[in-house]
Amino acid sequence: MKFGVNILNFGPGTDAGTLLGWARFAEDEGFHFAMISDHLAVTPDVAKQYPAPFYDPFTALAWLAGRTSRIALGTTVVVLPFRHPLEVARMAADIDEYSGGRLIFGVGVSWARREYAALGVPFERRGAITDEYLEVIRRCWTEDVVSFTGEHVAFEEVSVGSASAGRRRPPIWLGGPSGAALRRTVRYGDAWHPLNLRPAQIRERLPALRAMAVEAGRPVPAFAPRLPLRVTGSPLPEDERLAGQGTLGQIHGDLLALADLGAEHVLFDTYPGTPAEMRPPEEDRRMLRTVADAILDLDRGEVRR
């Protein structure tokens, strides 16, 4: 298994120095990857949960690619309908090139209706737009010249201009727990990247994902969950807590279960869920060190048993 750190790229006190601090922490402590989230227009519905400043994932990752050497870097997740797919394909391919093939391309559709309105993108069509854009991006990464005609975008004889186009592409991780998200993962993704699920929900949805892949005649996507990490002094109720939350013993059990379920990557997210609960980065990093020291063998990529 590979273990990663979510870089908090929003909120008061966040700046270029804190972004770099997160990336260096991940690399220096022996984690395997670091990821960064996405919102483009911080409308009131977004700000209630993710206040400004909110740093763009593409520009941040391009910069961090040159300031790191080992860890993979990724998006958790790009809200794909917000940007033209040719622009996204080129930016992501360039970052993959700058980093020497270290990019993980995580994709989602988001929930922020007012943000969609601000950007002039129809909220009700976000799933269909995401599917179409994924088709465009995959083709841009695997073909030298692409022509495409769809409901939401059309163009002829375009190259994204990346030196790696047609030779390699970043792995695509798809977020979301819904049936549509699982079908999207089977069709376009290399891994399913869910967030905020209870252990029982993970056990329920993985067989559905595998069944969809078998029915479609496609490889079963890998499993790469994002866990909202929270360490408590006393146990949390099993029927209420999310995977990754509770005592060290509960979190240890979650990680062992994820290993047994075939998880290949686990991303730790220290954001507590609301701006009022945000901690200084040093406190979050202490929590990550505690979990790593007590539960993980980062050198071997294993959960201690």
Residue-wise pLDDT for 103-136, tens only, equals 999 999 999 999 999 999 999 999 999 999 999 9
On whether residue 121 sits in a domain, the answer given is yes
Percent of the chain scored above 70 by pLDDT? 98
The reply to whether 159 falls in a domain is: no
User: CB neighbours of 143 closer than 8 A, spacing ≥ 6?
Assistant: 165, 166
Q: 217-254 burial, b for 16+ CB within 10 Å, e for fewer? A: eeebbbbbbbbbbbbeeeeeeeeebbbbbbeeebbbbb
In a domain, 150, yes or no: no
Q: Which helix (H) or strand (E) holds 156?
A: strand 154-158
Q: How far apart are CA 26 and CA 268, in angstroms?
A: 11
Query: Where residue 205 sits, what CATH number does that domain have?
Result: 3.20.20.30
Check pLDDT > 90 for residue 160: no
Give the rounded distance of the alpha carbon of 144 from its chain centre.
27
Distance CA 258, CA 264 (A): 9
**Taking the model in full, what pTM does it have?**
0.97
Number of domains in the chain: 1
CA distance linking residue 12 with residue 7, whole number of Å? 14
Q: Where are the alpha helices (DSSP H) in 31-153?
A: 44-47, 57-65, 85-98, 113-119, 126-142
Kindly state whether residue 92 falls inside one of the protein's structural domains: yes
152 belongs to a structural domain: no
Please check whether residue 179 lies inside any domain of the structure.
yes
User: Quick check: 208 and 182 in contact, CB under 8 A?
Assistant: yes
pLDDT tens for residues 264-277?
999 999 999 999 99
Give the structural domain span for 122: 2-139+168-303
Query: Would 199 be classed as within a structural domain?
Result: yes
Give the pLDDT of residue 163. Answer: 62
